[in-house]
């Protein structure tokens, strides 16, 4: 197959939509279709898109007819589509050098690969003026730029970070209502039982100490009494010598017992009072400890949430970097055209600040770049083009070798291909004779 870009050499339609019999052989790069509203201008563009892109036509067969047929001659490639009440049939073929016909087995797939993406420049202009968001989405789709996965991830991350930040604010609010505890405040509460047991142990030791002290005092008193007796006995040594010896022995035994006594640690009364005071102030102490525990936990939670928030912020920054990377890797059909996640730019400025004339040129160039093999464009709102913009479109068509089919409302019959009631009446004001009617492959009128 010839690899050079293709344009429409001839279009024919018979009984398609409201077109009775139409043949157009373009002799200009810009084919202008004129007539009243409903005359059939849009139907011709519909046929082009039906044959090239597979556009489905509603009620394609002219009322009162049994079948319809349309053909596009692209030079080396021919396209024919037939409609009957049972459905439609598409045929794409080429004429070989030996005159034989070679049909393509998957015609629409072949055309889809060949056609690329047909875009109406005026639709892009109207879309930009009416709905910038939709325009941005359309351009992103045309250049293959998709942020859907990143937007979903970003939404989840932002939602999670908001929850974490809410926790941070709650923790900080809680800390503001609390006072910082003394550094020596322990992290665990003191149990009442532990302090009570300690007090009881001190009391027991105090009782033992007092008992031993009393015993010692009694023994000391006894020694004094014995000494007095000994003094008396010494006066009566002779009489009570034996008794003195016995008493002396008893005294020595008692002294031995005294020396053998081992005293426990002395517990002062002040220690008992301190222990009792600790019992009395235990709940106050534990309240301070509980406050310290809550405060330190709130500080830790706030720090933890801050760390989580920072990690989520880093994740959002990574997502933003991924977006910029995807944009940087994207090939735009027009030099100077670029986009961010939310806005389209041309030469570094938002595209909506450009004039309509500049936008039309940009969008036409973009439409051309998106359909490099079949150099055919359609413009349905050609009436919106002023004379300067129309000349610019014509100049682009000539310089780039594109064929542009433009639909305009004009009832004069003096401009372009004038259509009335589904038939061509005149071309540039020259009446068209009806003798030369299109025939399908079978030679049928």
pLDDT at 441: 47
Contacts of 426 (CB under 8 A, 6+ apart): 413, 414, 418, 432
Report the distance separating Cα 211 and Cα 217, nearest Å: 10
Cα(133)–Cα(140) distance, rounded to whole angstroms? 11
- Got the DSSP string for 333-385? SSTTEEE-SS-EEETTEEGGGS-HHHHHHHHHHHHHHT-SSB-EEEES-GGG-
Q: Cβ(405)–Cβ(378) under 8 Å?
A: yes
Task: Provide the residue-wise pLDDT of the chain in tens; the chain has 445 residues.
Answer: 455 678 999 999 999 999 999 999 998 999 999 999 888 999 999 999 899 888 899 999 999 999 999 999 988 889 999 999 999 999 999 888 887 888 888 888 888 877 666 778 888 888 888 888 888 887 887 777 777 788 888 888 899 999 989 988 888 888 888 888 888 888 888 788 888 888 888 888 888 888 888 888 888 888 888 888 878 777 777 776 777 778 888 888 888 888 888 877 878 888 888 888 888 888 888 888 888 888 888 888 888 888 888 988 998 888 888 887 877 777 777 778 888 878 888 888 888 888 888 888 888 888 888 788 888 999 988 888 888 888 989 998 999 899 999 999 888 889 999 999 889 999 999 998 765 555 544 444 3
Strands across the sheet containing 430-431: 376-379, 403-407, 30-34, 417-420, 423-427, 430-431
SS3 440: coil
Rounded to whole angstroms, how far apart are CA atoms 304 and 310? Answer: 10
* 68-73: strand order across its sheet: 19-24, 10-16, 68-73, 78-84, 87-95, 101-103
The CATH class given to the 1-118+371-445 domain equals alpha beta
Sort strands 10-16 and 430-431 into parallel, antiparallel or unpaired.
unpaired
Q: Where along the chain do its domains lie?
A: 1-118+371-445, 120-145+333-369, 147-329
The pLDDT value given to residue 30: 93
Whole-Å CA distances, 44 to 18, 28, 31, 254, 341: 10, 17, 11, 139, 37
Under DSSP, the state recorded for 6 is B
């Amino acid at each position: 197959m010839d690899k050079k870009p293709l344009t429409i050499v001839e279009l024919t339609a018979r009984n398609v939509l409201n077109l009775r019999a139409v043949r157009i052989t373009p002799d200009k790069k810009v084919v202008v279709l004129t007539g009243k509203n409903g005359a059939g201008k849009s139907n011709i563009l519909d046929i082009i898109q039906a044959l090239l892109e597979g556009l489905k036509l509603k009620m394609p067969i002219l009322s009162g007819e049994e079948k319809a047929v349309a053909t596009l001659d692209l030079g080396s490639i021919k396209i024919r589509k037939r409609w009957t009440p049972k459905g439609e049939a598409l045929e794409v073929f080429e004429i070989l050098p030996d005159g034989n016909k070679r049909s393509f087995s998957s015609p629409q797939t072949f055309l889809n690969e060949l056609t690329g993406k047909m875009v109406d420049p005026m639709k892009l202009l109207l879309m930009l003026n009416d709905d910038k968001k939709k325009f941005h989405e359309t351009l992103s789709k045309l250049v293959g730029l998709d942020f859907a996965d990143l937007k979903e991830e970003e939404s989840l991350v932002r939602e999670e970070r908001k929850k974490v930040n809410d926790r941070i604010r709650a923790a900080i609010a809680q800390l503001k209502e609390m006072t910082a505890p003394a550094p020596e405040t322990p992290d665990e509460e003191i149990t009442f039982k532990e302090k009570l047991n300690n007090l009881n142990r001190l009391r027991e030791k105090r009782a033992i100490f007092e008992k031993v002290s009393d015993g010692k005092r009694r023994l000391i008193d006894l020694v004094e009494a014995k000494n007095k007796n000994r003094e008396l006995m010494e006066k009566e040594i002779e009489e009570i010598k034996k008794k003195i010896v016995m008493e002396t022995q008893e005294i020595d035994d008692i002294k031995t017992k005294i020396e053998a006594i081992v005293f426990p640690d002395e517990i002062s009364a002040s220690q008992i009072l301190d222990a009792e005071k600790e019992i009395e102030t235990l709940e106050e102490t534990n309240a301070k400890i509980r406050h310290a525990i809550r405060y330190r936990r709130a500080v830790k939670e706030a720090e933890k949430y801050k760390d989580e928030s920072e990690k989520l912020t880093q994740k959002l920054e990574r997502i933003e970097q991924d977006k910029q990377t995807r944009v940087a890797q994207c090939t735009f059909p027009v030099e100077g055209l670029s986009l961010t996640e939310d806005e389209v730019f041309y030469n570094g400025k938002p595209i909506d600040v450009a004039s309509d004339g500049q936008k039309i040129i940009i969008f036409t160039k973009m439409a051309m770049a998106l359909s490099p093999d079949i150099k055919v464009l359609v413009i349905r709102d050609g009436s919106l083009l002023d004379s300067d913009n129309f000349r610019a479109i014509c100049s682009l068509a000539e310089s780039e070798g594109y064929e542009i089919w433009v639909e305009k409302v004009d009832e004069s019959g003096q401009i372009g291909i004038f259509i009335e009631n589904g038939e061509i009446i005149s071309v540039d004001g020259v009446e068209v004779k009806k003798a030369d009617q299109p025939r399908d492959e079978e030679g049928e009128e």
